Each structure stands twice: as C-alpha cells, then as structure tokens.
Structure 1
Amino acid sequence: MPGKVENTLILIAAGEFSLGILGNVFIGLVNFVDWIKHRKIASIDLILTSLAISRISLLCIILLDCFILVQYPDVYTAGKQMRIIDCFWTLTNHLSVWFATCLSIFYFLKIANFFHPLFLWMKLRIDNVIPKILLGCLALSVFFSLPVSGNWNDDFRFCVKAKLKTNLTLRCKINKAQYASTKIYLNLLTLVPFSVSLISFLLLILSLWRHTRRMQLNATGSRDPSIEAHVGAMKAVISFLLLFIAYYLAYLVATSSYFLPETELAVMVGEVTALICPSSHSLILILENSKLRKAFLRVLWKVKYVPTRSC
C-alpha cells in the first residue's frame, strides 16, 4: 500500500498534469479552430501546436509512470512493460525539447535584426521549411529513442529492484553498465537543442542591444514595437531555458535513481519536478502570444459572466 508521502506526491503530480493538459489542449484547440476557419496555418501556430501535442503525450507518460510506480510497483520487475514506457518517455521528451528549440529559432529569425547574408537568407525561407524541420525533429526523436528499446535487458530492472548492491552477479553488472551508458548518451543529446536555444537567446539580446542603441542615436520614443517583440520573445525563450534546466535535473534524478537507495521515492520526486516544465511553459506561451492571450481572456470572460446571466 502506498504511504502518505507517495499519496501526496501523486496528488501533486495529478494537479500539475491537469494544469499542463488544460494549457496545451487550449493551445492546440485555438490553433486548430483558426486553421479550419482560415484554411491555412501560420508557421508559429504549427510549431506551437506540435509542441502542445508532444507535451500532452509527455505529461501522460510521466503521470502513467508515476501511477504505476505507486500502485503497481511489481511491474518494474517485469522489465518489458517499463521498457515500453521508457521508450515513449524518451521519444516524447526529445520531441518536446526539439520543438521548443524550433520555437526559439523561429523567434530569433523573425524578430532579430541582423544584416548578415546567411541570416537574411534563413529569415526569408524559414516559413517554407518549418514543416520539414518539424518532420526532421520527429525523425531525430524516433532515432534517439531506439537505443532505449534495443539495449536494455529485462534482467536489469530485476537486479535493481532486488537491491543486489553488495553481491551482484556478472550479468547484473553488465546490464547496469549498459543502462548507465545508454542514459549518459541520451542525456548528452538533449544538450544539443538546449545549446541552440541558448545561442538564439543570446543573439536576441545582442539584437535588442543594437536596436536600442540605434533608437537612442535617432532620439526615437521608448514605445517601439520591435523592442516589445524582442522582450516578448526573450521571455518565452528564457522561461524555456530555466524550466528546461529544472526539468533536466529532475529527469536525471528520475532516470538515474535506480542506482540509489529508496529508488521509488527518488523516481517520484524527480517525476513530480519534471512535470513542472511542460505544464507551466504552456501557460507562459499563452500569455506571451497575442492570439492565444486574447482567446484565453475571452474564455475567462465567458466563464465569469455566463453563469451570472443564466441565474
């Protein structure tokens, strides 16, 4: 039977899951309705919708893993079922990170002001290549998730679950080494999109600094649309970077805690923390996107005033 700590963590995870599902479903629905209405979809909306779908899947996988860990801990000894969950978690994790990186690159190319020929060439063609880039991110994520399904043996989780810490057999040692090497490889791969997003953020800061200097030289007013666009994009990107750091650390705890005592509790704490990123970042994107923000305010207005009118 799960204890009080496990039940509390499950409730927190369920609350974070509900918040994240509502936010990401809202993003997907608003963009889908706009797509149906206008018979076309903007590049930014396509990226946001793809990101929302990947995060809905990621949230479901994390909550499912947390629920199984508490209610059916013996599943961890079987290996096969948990290997499937690990595979889908890796897939949705990489999809979410890569799609968020695409969003950072899109903001940078659309808002930054540089006159380098390569930047101008990319700026003109970004709208046409966004669908291909998203498909490429999907292909990369599937490729990265293959080692999870192919290199892990069913015996490993049994060895860990059995807590064979002092007298491990040779087979368990080999499986543990394979597991550790695979996890290190997959975790290092997520640093690539993070680095790209970080570079985009730094270049946005440089672009904003140069634009502000030009405004000061020309004695232009402080209310400038370009500055507001820069600041809005930087908020979206920096929030992703900060939340990604928290998510990455939690992901390391959740996926590496099989080597630690109190494995189940460490995994749950890591998963509860990992739920923060896909849940809260969607709300930040809604507030920073004008179309989503207006749709959100309309929904709030209807929720507030419709019951009053019906009374």
Structure 2
Amino acid sequence: MNGIIQSILLCIVVVEIIVGCFGNGFIALVNCIHWVKKRKISAVNQILTALAFSRISHLSTLLTFLFLSTLYSDLVLSTILVKLLNFHIIFSSHFSMWLAACLGLFYFLKIANFSNSFFVYLKMRVNQMVSGTLLMSLAFLFLNTLLINSYIDGQIGGHRRYPLYGFSSNDTAAFYRVILIINYSIFTFPPFVISQSTFLLLIFSLWRHHKRMQQYTERCRDALANAHIKVLKPMITYVLLCSIYFLAHLIQNLKTELLENIFYIRCCQIATLAFPSGHSCALIWGDTKLRQTSLFVLWWLTCRFKDVHPMGP
C-alpha cells in the first residue's frame, strides 16, 4: 500500500514539473515570437520571458535530480558533484523567486497611485528600480553560493561523501537540512517579503482610490480601478502559491528526522512545485495576449485531434 501511495505522489510531482515546463515554455515562446515580429518587447514581457526561462531551468534541474535519485538512490556524490548540483538549483531558484518579485514590483509601481513624492520619484524610474533590484539580488546569490560551498567543504572532508538521495542517517539528513535552511529559508525570505509587500500595497492603493472616487462619482469602476483588479487577480494566486512554497520549505527545516521519511518529502515536493508550475498558468490566464493565444492553440489541437480521430456515424 505504501508503495502505491509513493508511486502516486511521484507521478503528481512529475506531472507538476511537466505542466510547469510546458506553461513556462509557452510564455517564453509567445513572447519571443512577438519580439521577433514587432522588433521590440515591453519591459513587462522582458521580465515574463526571463522568469519563464529561469523556471524552465529550475524545473528541468529538479526533474533531472528526481530521475537520478529514483533510479540511482544509492549513488554517492563527491564534493564537486554536490557543489555542482546545488549551484544549479540555487541559481535557477534564485532567479525564479527574484524575477517574480520584480514582476510584482513593476506592477505595483506602474499601477499604484500614491501622492507621496518619494513614490512619484520611484514611479518615474520604474525600469531602473526593477533593474536595480535584480542587480542587488546578485549579491544574495553570491553570498548564498559562498555559504553553501563553505558548509559543503567543512562537512565533506577528505574522502567523506554523501548519497544523492534517501537520507538513511541522521548525519546525512542534518547535512541537507542545513542546505535547505541556507537556500530556502534565509535567501528566499527577501523576495518573499517584497512580493507580499507589493501585493498589500496594491490592495491599499485600490482601497484609497475607491474611497476617493466615491466622493465624485457613483460609477462602479473606472479605468484605474480596473487596472488594479486586473493585476491583483494573478497576484492573488502568486501570493498564495509563494506562501505555500515558502512554508513548505520552512516546515522541512523543523525536524531532521522528517527528512528520512520519503512520504513526507514527496508531499513537500508537491507543495513547493505548485509555485513555479501553477503561477505560470495564472500568468497565462491573466495576460490577454497569452490567454487568447493559449485558447487558439487548444482550439487548433482539438480540431487536429478530431481530424485524426473522426467520430463514428
């Protein structure tokens, strides 16, 4: 029975990764085609395309790791291989989190309406703010990589090695637990805070705008309110999935013994993979161009399927 449950959980993990790769690949492909045709690309589409590529890289790395850990669960890694594997995961997850945070920051500065002079100054330099935030994040990436590599060098001394997966001992589980704490708890927290802050400030901006408009008109909504709501819809999904992602990694750090339970690990993987996979679907549905293109592709595939398999009389 346990074997069947584990197989089902593993299938869910693989499906999430495949859906995420297809969703992010679709975003990147549509934006790149539009870029080639129009010879230009907007700032938001640049962020979306970079975010899609980073998530494809992240999900591909996780799929490779999952494939190797399933087929070669007893494989033992040297220091160089552990560093290389962790660098790929750190690099891809770093840009996945920070680009998503930059997307929320871009929407906030473009849509929100505050009379504060400092906010007006930032609003006029939205592209520089997003670029500066992304450049600042490189310092976190460097520090993250440095700390993890230093920890790996300190733990894997001499000829000591660690298995790829299957935390069969407390020492191995504790080793990977520290890596999880450094990578997903400490260095995931800043973009998580930025994302939550921009979301709450957008809601506050919409509330203030609504109160202000009630003094002048009885119309249900105006253009600025519609812009707020259009941006907030995908951001609600993003904030929820990002919170689940952060909490799932945080929960893994509570007890070392839990990392020895494969059922617990699979459940955490399902929770964390919902963020890069589910958010791509929310981005597609929230963007008019991407939504229309996806509906056209689905319609075309449906027609092709009917032509290949005609219905009986």
Aligned length in residues: 301
Q: Distance in 1 between matches of 2:212 and 2:14?
A: 49
Q: Distance in 1 between matches of 2:202 and 2:146?
A: 35
Q: Distance in 1 between matches of 2:293 and 2:80?
A: 43
The answer to whether the 8 A contact 2:30-2:290 is kept is yes
What's 1:20 paired with?
A: 20
Instruction: Report deviation, 1:55.
Output: 1.0
What's 1:38 paired with?
A: 38
Instruction: Report deviation, 1:76.
Output: 4.8
Q: How does 1:56-75 map to 2 (within 5 A)?
A: 56-75=56-75
Instruction: Report deviation, 1:156.
Output: 6.8
Q: Greater helix percent: which structure?
A: 1
**Normalised by the size of structure 1, how large is the TM-score?**
0.84
Which of 68-77 and 12-21 deviates more?
68-77
What's 1:125 paired with?
A: 125
Among candidates 154, 157, 162, match of residue 157 of structure 1: 162
Structure 1 residues 301 and 40: alpha-carbon distance in aligned structure 2, compared to 1, 3 A threshold: same
Q: Distance in 2 between matches of 1:76 and 1:133?
A: 38
Question: What residue ranges of structure 1 are gaps of 5+ in the alignment?
Answer: 166-171
The answer to whether the 8 A contact 1:91-1:142 is kept is no
What's 2:191 paired with?
A: 193
> What SS does the aligned partner of 1:275 have?
helix
Structure 1 residues 256 and 140: alpha-carbon distance in aligned structure 2, compared to 1, 3 A threshold: same
Give deviations 1:230-263, integer Å, cap 9, x for gaps.
1122222222221112112333456777543634
What's 1:285 paired with?
A: 283
The answer to whether the 8 A contact 2:76-2:161 is kept is no
Say if 2:181 is the partner of 1:184: yes
Structure 1 residues 272 and 71: alpha-carbon distance in aligned structure 2, compared to 1, 3 A threshold: farther
**Normalised by the size of structure 2, how large is the TM-score?**
0.84
Structure 1 residues 306 and 138: alpha-carbon distance in aligned structure 2, compared to 1, 3 A threshold: farther
Structure 1 residues 260 and 214: alpha-carbon distance in aligned structure 2, compared to 1, 3 A threshold: closer
Instruction: Report deviation, 1:47.
Output: 0.8
What's 1:111 paired with?
A: 111
Q: Distance in 2 between matches of 1:261 and 1:149?
A: 21
Instruction: Report deviation, 1:24.
Output: 0.3
Aligned amino acid, residue 285 of structure 1 = L
**Superposition misfits of 4+ residues, deviation over 6 angstroms:** none
Q: How does 1:64-103 map to 2 (within 5 A)?
A: 64-76=64-76, 78=78, 80-103=80-103
Structure 1 residues 206 and 132: alpha-carbon distance in aligned structure 2, compared to 1, 3 A threshold: closer
Among candidates 208, 225, 240, match of residue 242 of structure 1: 240
Question: What residue ranges of structure 2 are gaps of 5+ in the alignment?
Answer: none
What fraction of aligned residue pairs are identical, expressed as a percent? 34
Give deviations 1:45-102, integer Å, cap 9, x for gaps.
0111111111111112222222222221112565653443223222222211111110
Which of 128-137 and 277-286 deviates more?
128-137
Q: Distance in 2 between matches of 1:266 and 1:12?
A: 14
Aligned amino acid, residue 157 of structure 1 = Y
The answer to whether the 8 A contact 1:147-1:182 is kept is no
What's 2:137 paired with?
A: 137
Q: Distance in 2 between matches of 1:33 and 1:135?
A: 27
Which of 149-158 and 85-94 deviates more?
149-158
